[in-house]
Amino acid sequence: MSSESPIFSQTYDFVRWLLPLAAKMPREHRGGLARRIPEAAFAFQNALIAAAKSPEETVHILRQADVALAELRLLLRLARDLQALSFKQYEEGARRSVEIGRLLGGWLRARE
């Protein structure tokens, strides 16, 4: 898959959107949750890059990316439940992650 695919640009935009949100989280969440959200986002992005660059292991790496995206979704939900994110911010993050998940699923189905 080309690095010009929509999944790469949407993931980049998602990470760019997430970083300032994590930085603005309340102090009590900065050491844990605010650190884990960018880590999970970067892990997902790195898995996509690795999948594009390793055609022989694409399916395995895409499954790892799916796990990273699931972790990111869980962290966003937790941030919302702990009121570190507003409902509107959570809603936007969920919308973006669903769209990226659709693209990831399509890529995975095409490779299996």
- Residue ranges and CATH numbers for the domains of the chain are 6-111 (1.20.1440.60)
pLDDT by 10s per residue, the chain, length 112: 655 789 999 999 999 999 999 999 988 887 889 999 999 999 999 999 999 999 899 999 999 999 999 999 999 999 999 999 999 999 999 999 999 999 999 999 998 8
pTM as predicted: 0.90
Question: Would you tell me how many other CB atoms lie within 10 Å of the CB of residue 75?
Answer: 23
Task: Give the pLDDT of residue 6.
Answer: 95
Stated as kind and residue range, the H or E segment containing 75 is helix 58-81
CA quadruple 16, 89, 71, 69: dihedral positive or negative?
negative
CB 96 within 8 A of CB 14: yes
